[in-house]
Amino acid sequence: MNSTEQPRISVRSPADLIAAVPYLLGFHPADSLVVLALRGRRIVFAARADLPPSGADAGPVARHLTAVIRRQSAEAATIIGYGPAARVTAAVDALRHAVGETSITVVDALRVGDGRYWSYVCADPGCCPPEGTPYDAAASQVTATAVFAGQVALPDRAALTARVAPVTGPAREAMRAATAQARARLGELLRSVPPEELSSARAVTRPAGAAHRAALEQTRRGERLSDQAVAWLGVLLTFLPARDDVWERTEGDDAHVDLWTDVFRRSEPELVAAPGSLLAFAAFRAGQGALAAVALERVLARQPDYSMALLLDDLLRQAVPPSRFTDWPTLNDKRATLPRRARRHRPR
């Protein structure tokens, strides 16, 4: 699920809508049910779900997507199903029914496949022929605008998942050695500090802050972090005060997303929870909900009780807009900015 607040994309036709979807989601959907929330003629939010299997009840998926767009204060919605008619039609019908029970107007409902689209709303063969309407997304002004703005649409969701996959082979072996060195370095650090600093957590928050600042500066310069820098940052982030201090400084610009993507991919499996969650938060703030979701999937598969990941997963499921975090972290208590359900998870 992605907010599209930055930038907003104007739509003027069904072909524009279809061209916009991959850039709103971050990848080209297949076998998917997508709903676009509209205010006026602008898309403000996009949500996607897998098509239910043939013959399965589409009601739960339809009700979930309807709840998502209602939280965006949508005035209208367009529904798009990707796949064969045998699977798409039942899912689109269920979603049209669920949205129809709200005050949101269904502007159009489409099926997309093989370079053509069909409307479930328009019955005029003059503008909506039964054989479908061909479209060329590459020729759309929406596509040109998205590319110019630096937005990327990966081939499919698998490509997005691969973007956060762990490194393997020699790179993994090098990180294993660097992590062992970082653990030894941490032990020496903790043995050398006064007891009062250990009790106040300054022994880890200060070096973590310094490591984070240095890594972010390198990332902004386009420099690759050394294995030692990644391992040292990852080891320090296992301490919750250090992670939370870095969390407060995590923004939604490209440098933060790139930094945490790199650290997440290269960290040893037992250290991925913090960098993966920080990546999810940076991606969420950047409006890259799909990237945040795949990062959280990997974190929670490894550590299903990691509360920061659970909290962020809750934010995505509730479709909380990133604009709720515009003033982050000016409030003393991070949880004061979160919706009530998300506050149930104490960060740990």
pTM exceeds 0.95:
no
Q: Is the pLDDT of residue 137 over 90?
A: no
Q: What is the pLDDT of residue 347?
A: 42
Q: Looking at the domain assignment, is residue 132 inside a domain? A: yes
CATH number of the CATH domain containing 87: 3.40.140.10
Q: Is the pLDDT of residue 339 over 50?
A: no
Q: Looking at the domain assignment, is residue 158 inside a domain? A: no
Greater confidence (13 vs 269) lies with 269
Q: Is the pLDDT of residue 293 over 80?
A: yes
Percent of the chain predicted with pLDDT > 90: 60
Of the listed ranges 102-106, 187-191, 285-289, the least confidently predicted one is 285-289
In this structure, the answer to whether residues 322 and 176 fall within a common structural domain is yes
Q: What is the pLDDT of residue 8?
A: 55
Angle at 336 between CA 334 and CA 342, to 5 degrees: 85
Q: What is the pLDDT of residue 39?
A: 84
Q: What is the mean pLDDT of residues 202-228?
A: 95
Q: pLDDT per residue over 169-180, tens digit each?
A: 999 999 999 999
pLDDT band of 102, cuts 50, 70, 90? very high
In this structure, the answer to whether residues 234 and 145 fall within a common structural domain is no
> Which of 153, 173, 198 lies at the terminal end of a domain, its last residue?
153
CB contact set of 334 (below 8 Å; sequence gap of 6+): 244, 247, 248, 328, 347
Q: What is the pLDDT of residue 145?
A: 66
- Looking at residue 270, its amino acid is E
Give the alpha-carbon dihedral of 92, 95, 97, 101, to 10 degrees: -160
Q: What is the pLDDT of residue 2?
A: 55
Q: What is the mean pLDDT of residues 24-28?
A: 88
Greater confidence (80 vs 339) lies with 80
Percent of the chain predicted with pLDDT > 70: 87
Question: Are the CB atoms for 96 and 89 separated by under 8 Å?
Answer: no
Q: What is the pLDDT of residue 344?
A: 41
Distance in angstroms (rounded) separating the CA atoms of residues 10 and 141? 10
In this structure, the answer to whether residues 92 and 219 fall within a common structural domain is no
- In the chain, the number of structural domains is 2
> Which of 118, 153, 188 lies at the terminal end of a domain, its last residue?
153
In this structure, the answer to whether residues 12 and 78 fall within a common structural domain is yes
In this structure, the answer to whether residues 234 and 336 fall within a common structural domain is yes
Q: Looking at the domain assignment, is residue 123 inside a domain? A: yes
Of the candidates 52, 34, 30, 32, the residue with the CA atom closest to the CA atom of residue 43: 34
In this structure, the answer to whether residues 10 and 116 fall within a common structural domain is yes
- The whole-chain average pLDDT of the chain stands at 87
In this structure, the answer to whether residues 226 and 121 fall within a common structural domain is no
Q: pLDDT per residue over 297-337, tens digit each?
A: 999 999 999 999 999 998 888 878 777 777 777 533 444 44
CB contact set of 331 (below 8 Å; sequence gap of 6+): 337
CA atoms within 13 A on the CB side of 210: 6
Q: Looking at the domain assignment, is residue 319 inside a domain? A: yes
For 110, the domain range is 2-153
Of the listed ranges 15-24, 30-39, 96-105, 249-258, the least confidently predicted one is 15-24
Q: What is the pLDDT of residue 126?
A: 87
In this structure, the answer to whether residues 145 and 171 fall within a common structural domain is no
Instruction: At 221, list the tokens.
Output: 């310069």
In this structure, the answer to whether residues 43 and 117 fall within a common structural domain is yes
Q: Is the pLDDT of residue 57 over 70?
A: yes
Of the candidates 338, 145, 182, the residue with the CA atom closest to the CA atom of residue 263: 182
Of the candidates 93, 65, 82, 74, the residue with the CA atom closest to the CA atom of residue 21: 82
Q: What is the mean pLDDT of residues 12-22?
A: 84
In this structure, the answer to whether residues 7 and 142 fall within a common structural domain is yes
Q: Is the pLDDT of residue 119 over 90?
A: yes
Greater confidence (295 vs 45) lies with 295
The dihedral through the CA atoms of 132, 134, 138, 140 has a sign that is negative
Greater confidence (158 vs 328) lies with 158
Greater confidence (203 vs 106) lies with 106
> Which of 129, 153, 177 lies at the terminal end of a domain, its last residue?
153
Q: What is the pLDDT of residue 140?
A: 73
Q: What is the mean pLDDT of residues 95-106?
A: 95
pLDDT band of 239, cuts 50, 70, 90? very high
In this structure, the answer to whether residues 121 and 37 fall within a common structural domain is yes
In this structure, the answer to whether residues 36 and 169 fall within a common structural domain is no
Q: Is the pLDDT of residue 260 over 90?
A: yes
pLDDT band of 216, cuts 50, 70, 90? very high
